[in-house]
Each structure stands twice: as C-alpha cells, then as structure tokens.
Structure 1
Amino acid sequence: MRKWLHQNPQRTWTPLLALLWLSLLVFAAVVAGLLPQQLLSPDLLNSNAPPSTPSHWLGTDPQGQDVMAALLYGARTALLVSIPSVGIAAALGTGFGLAAGYFGDTRLRYPLAYCATVGCAFLCFALFKISFSWLLLLLLSALSVGKVLTRFQFWSHRIALPLDQLIQVCTSLLSSVPRLLLIITIAAAIEPTLLGLVLLLGFTSWTQTARLVRAEARRVRQLPYLEAAHAAGLPPLRIVWHHMLPNVMRPVITTIPLSIAAFITLETTLSFLGIGLPPEVVSWGKLLALSRLAPSSWWLLLFPALCLLATTLALRSVLAFKKR
C-alpha cells in the first residue's frame, strides 16, 4: 500500500477515505448492536424536529424517533443483510461453477438405475406437490431401489450426466428474469424476516459468480499439473478442492466489494418499498420512505442517501485500489 501511495500521490486520499468510511460503518454497526432499543421509541412531542435540536443532533422522523440512532441501526441492518448474502451467493456460484467447469458433460457418470429412480422421485415431487420431508424419504427409497437394480447388467450401465448443460440452463433461466423484479415478487409473497431476506438475496444472485468460476475452471482444467493429478489417480473431489479451488478464487474475491454494494442497494430498495424486512427492523430504506410522509423534512432524505452513496463509492474505490 505504501508503494502504491508513493507512486500515485495525486490519488492518496481516495483509498484512505474509502477505508476510513468503511471502518466507521463497521464501528457504527457494532455500536448499534450495543445501544438500547429505547433510542428508537416514538416521541410525538419532538416529531419532525430539525437537526441541531438538543438531544437530537440529526433531527427526528414523523414519529419522533432519533435519526442518528436510525442511521446506526440501518448500518447494522445493511451489513447483516449484505455480508451473509454475499457469502451464500459466492459459495453457491463457486460450487456450481467448479462442478460445471471440471466435470463438464462427460466426466460425471452414474449407473442408469440411480438416474432413473432419482429422476422418478423428483417427477413425483413436481406432479403431486409433496412436502420436502416426504421428498427426502422418497429420495432415500429411490437410492435403495437403485442399489438393488444395479445388480442387473442393463441397469448397471453407467451414463454421463450433462452437468454443465444443466447448470447452464439454470443460470440462463435465473438470469433471464430481472433480478430486482424476481426478488420483489418473491419477497412480497413470503413472510418478511431478516433470515428470509438473506437467503432470498443469496439464492437469486449466484449466477454471475458461477459464470466467472466456470470459465476459470475450464481454463485451469487444461493445465499440465491437473493432467498430472489425473494420471496419479487422485480422486476428483480432492483435485477440485486442493488444486482447482485456490486457482479460481481470484475473480470471486475481486467481485466481493461490488457484490456487497449491490446487496446494500437492493436491501435499501426493498425497505423503501416496504417489503423484505419486518416492520420493527430499522434500515436506511425505511428512513428514506418516511421522507414521503414529511416532504419538508429534508434531513430524512439527505442523511440516509449520503450514507448509501458514500458506502457504494467506498466499496468501488476499494475494488479499484485492489486492482492496482
């Protein structure tokens, strides 16, 4: 870092300010977890109080809640939603991308009996709309029946699973629908919880990571040391975990700051629309939404918008600094 700052004196303050703001954001999230909830209790005698009011430095909202406390709790909500969502999306995208890039359409082979029985189990799940607990029991039964059928020569014949094509189809289908529209549709239909929003964002945002990892895995698969590992008879899972995974993590790590910024923006958008999070959870989006109830209270719009803008720009500056 010192070398880069010495070579780029005109850009010295940009990464430092970005790191300083992100450190303050993390500190605010930690402090908010230690503050009592009474700070957000309504105070109708001080509703829509302007900034610099005694005991309310940044003003209050239409319900009399302190804006500074709401910003601190909003920072905590933004990090609690964005960071786990990024972890889930990165894990899913890396796993699917590695599987598609390494196994392709020919390397993963299973007996015909298992493919037929498991396929019938999922077909019954789709047609009869059984619960997930019954699906698990059905899959166990299908595997047991498949093991018995493998004793026959016809059913023991191994066939290649087109894993790459299946993952590519799922990626294309999920990417064909605008992500914001898909998230809003699902979030409006389920019960609003913090965990539900994290899972929703994570399970609908892994496609870009999967494509990057798949392309990198297909490149690494052709390297000589991978061919040597195959010739040595190493099991596929060991090759993928110890030899391929460390070499495909660079694009995943590079996109993490942008992904965090995107998830914070999505969480703010959903909170502004009033979906995704329970009513008692405070966020920047809900604070922005309160500005519609009091158009003259400019601080309800200015302060959370500045926090969101500064966080997004800081994460992008960190990414630009990492590239150098």
Structure 2
Amino acid sequence: MSNKPTCRWWPLAMLGAILAVVVLTWFFDGLKPELRLDMRSLPPGAGHWLGTDTLGRDVWLSILAGSQRSILVSIGAALIGGSIGVGFGSVAAFFGNDRLRFTLRAYLAALLLLVVFVYSIAVLWPTVSSTGHVSVGISILLALIAFVAIFWLLLRRFNLLRSRITFPLDTITQRFIEVISVIPRLYLIVAFAMIIPINMFTLIVLFAVTSWDVMARMVRAEMLKVREMTYIESARIIGLSESKVFFRHALPNAIGPVATQVCFTISGLLIAEATLSFIGVGVSPETVSWGSIIHGYLENLQAWWLAVFPGICIYLTVISLHALGNDLDRMCHSKH
C-alpha cells in the first residue's frame, strides 16, 4: 500500500463548491438579493432561512452574492502578487549581485521608468480615480513613457554612457522586500481610501502590491539552493545562455512551494477583505460582501444571524485553503 501523501477530498470539495457559487452568482441575476425595507432584520424562518439584514436583504442570497467579491478579490490579488513575488525573488537569487552588468544609460533609463511608475501610483492614479478623467490619465502616462523611450534612443544614437557596471540586484531586492514588509496593509489601504475611491479593481491592486513580499522571500530561498545544483552548472558548461538556464532549469525547480503559499495568501487576503468591508472601507452601503453582512450586526445586536452565518462561511473557506495548502506542502516535500 502506497504511503504517498495525497490531497484530502473535503478541502477540494469545499473550495469547488465555493467557486461554483461565485460562477453562478456572476451569471444569474436571480441569485442577487433585493432591498426590502419592510422586512428588515427578520430572524431565520420560513421564506428567509438565514434571516434578513438591516436593509431587508435575504442573508442567504447576500452570502451567495458576497462570495463573488470576497473570493475574486482575494484570488486575483494573490495571483498577481504571487507573480510579482516569483519574478522578483527568483531573478534576484539567480543572478545575485555580480551576474548582471548594465550600461550607465540603461541605469538612467530604468531610473526614469521607476520615477514614472511611482508618479503613476502616487499622483496620477489617485487623481484619475477621483476625477474620472481616464483618457487624460492614459494620455499623460503614454507621453511619459514616450519621453523615456526617446531619451533612451538619443543616448544610444550618440553612444553616450556606454560603460558597464555591475548591478547589485539581490541586495536591492532584499531592501525593497524589507520596505514592503513593514508597511501595515490595512493602514495603507485605509489611507488610500481617503484619497481615491476604493473599488474591486483598486482593492486587488493594493492587496497585490502589499502581499508579494512573502512569496518573493520563499522563492528566493529556493532559488539560492537550486542555482548551486550540479545540473545548473552543467547547463552553463554546454553553452546555454543565462536566460535559458534560468527559464528551462532553474525556475521550474524553484517554484515547487508556490502553490502552497498561494493558498495561504488567499486565505489571508480573504480575512483582510472581510475586515475592510466590516469597517466600511472600500464598500458602499448597497455593496454586499461577507464582511459587510457582519457589519450589519453592529446596527442590531439582536440580529445574531448576521454575524454567525457569514462568519461560518469565512471560517470554512479559510480552513479549507489552509488544509489544501498543508496537503500540497506535504506532497512537495515528499518529492524531495
């Protein structure tokens, strides 16, 4: 009898059912709750098996509709943030501080692009979000990128700043990860909510740019081990370029634990999204999410069902993600 670890059935069944609910509520408007001010805060009973909230919406339908926001935000942010973390962590560890050499003009162009990026996030994006002038914002961003491209072409045409220097990528990446790690995610999003309207898209972006550091650390640690393996040196000896060694041999062997960390990240972001919805950040009164349903309990402390049923949904989702993550972790370690 094989002792090879496998994934337990119940986390997969639970998460599959939740994703099926998200898909159904996305396509069927009949599963969305309606406002019924004449039926506010009704306890569970016939016709409303889980009761109604402070706006008269059926709690069962609200939980179904709220799963769409809660799940999509956490999954979207985890996937985007995970991709950023894998990219930063793997490249930094593989190339280290001495394998990348760039010309001074490349440094200058990269610095200008960084300035454009920071300006877009800190100034342009909040302004566009608050005023709604999307076309103007896109035009300004394209103009800035065009300026950097023209500047780069002029430097190349006149062969200026051609000397090469080593780029300490790993050190810079570690310092950047440390800066991101010390920023309290919820405080940052609350601060942004005072400047720009927080919707599902902006929430995904904010969660992604504040959650990639854990993935970057994990992939960097794996890549530091992988790059010392004999098959990596053999690939270099036979003449493969650094990029081919990285993409064909190093990266596939360094991302084994990624799926495990993604599960844990989704569960953490799910709780963070519920917390923000509970305190009323990023949601309008008519927006339904699991956290906003629980918030209704504060308006009527007798309506216990507003806290219990959404809380059970959050608990089951988080514990299923953690169980799946632990199973994937055991499977990953059994291969080694």
How far does residue 262 in structure 1 lie from its aligned partner after superposition? 0.6
- Aligned position for 2:48: 56
Answer with 69-78 or 116-125: which moved more. 116-125
Q: Does 1:177 align with 2:183?
A: yes
Residue-by-residue CA offset, 1:188-210 (whole Å, 9 max, x unaligned): 43222211111111111100111
* Residues 126 and 63 of structure 1: CA distance in aligned 2, closer, same or farther (over 3 Å): closer
Q: 2:199 aligns with which of 189, 193, 207?
A: 193
Shift of 1:117: 5.0
Deviation at 1:237, TM superposition (A): 2.2
Q: Is the Cα contact below 8 Å between 2:32 and 2:65 reproduced in 1?
A: no
Which position in structure 1 is the counterpart of 2:145? Answer: 136
CA spacing shift, 1:46–1:280, aligned 2, 3 Å: closer
What is the distance in 1 between the residues matched to 2:112 and 2:76? 35
- Is contact 2:222–2:255 with CA below 8 Å preserved after alignment? no
Equivalent residue, structure 2, for 1:261: 267
**Unmatched segments (≥5 aa) in structure 2:** 125-139, 331-336
Q: Which residue of 2 aligns with 1:323?
A: 329
* 2:15 corresponds to 1:22: yes
Judged with a 3 Å threshold, the aligned counterparts in structure 2 of structure 1 residues 85 and 17 are, in CA distance, closer, same or farther, namely same
Give the whole-Å Cα distance in 2 for the aligned partners of 1:126 and 1:194: 21
Q: Which moved more, 1:219-228 or 1:141-150?
A: 141-150
Q: Indicate how the Cα distance of structure 1 residues 135 and 242 shifts in structure 2: closer, same or farther if over 3 A, else same.
A: same
Alignment of 1:158-177 (within 5 A): 158-177=164-183
On the 8 A contact 1:82/1:198 being kept in 2, the answer is: yes
Partner residue in 2 for 1:69: 61
Alpha-carbon distance, 1:183 to partner: 2.9
Given that residues 114 and 147 in structure 1 are in contact (C-alpha distance below 8 angstroms), is that contact kept between their aligned partners in structure 2? Answer: no
- C-alpha distance in structure 1 between counterparts of 2:192 and 2:177, whole Å: 18
Greater RCO (CA < 8 Å, at least 6 residues apart): 2
Aligned partners of 1:170, 1:313: CA distance in 2, in Å?
31
- SS of residue matched to 1:61: coil
Structure 1 counterpart of 2:201, which letter?
Answer: L
Query: Taking every aligned residue pair, what percent have the same amino acid on both sides?
Result: 31
Distance in 1, matches of 2:276 and 2:307, equals 16
Question: Following superposition of structure 1 onto structure 2, how do residues 104-253 of structure 1 map, counting pairs within 5 Å?
Answer: 104-116=96-108, 118-119=110-111, 131-150=140-159, 155-253=161-259
Return the alpha-carbon distance in structure 1 between the equivalents of residues 304 and 3 of structure 2: 40
Check 1:228–1:258 CA distance in 2 against 1; reply closer, same or farther (3 A cut).
same
Residue range with higher mean Cα deviation, 43-52 or 175-184: 175-184
Task: Work out whether residues 270 and 276 of structure 1, in 8 Å CA contact, stay in contact via their aligned partners in 2.
Answer: yes
Letter matched to residue 144 of structure 1: L
Taking the aligned partners of 1:23 and 1:149, their CA distance within structure 2 comes to 59
TM-score (norm 2): 0.84
> How many residues are treated as equivalent by the alignment?
312
Structure 1: runs of 5 or more not aligned: 9-13
The answer to whether the 8 Å contact 1:188/1:275 transfers is no
Q: CA-to-partner distance for each residue in 1:86-108, whole Å, 9 max, x for gaps?
A: 11011000000111011111211
1:56-83 deviation digits (Å, cap 9, x = unpaired): 1111011110000000011122221111
TM-score by length of structure 1 reads: 0.87
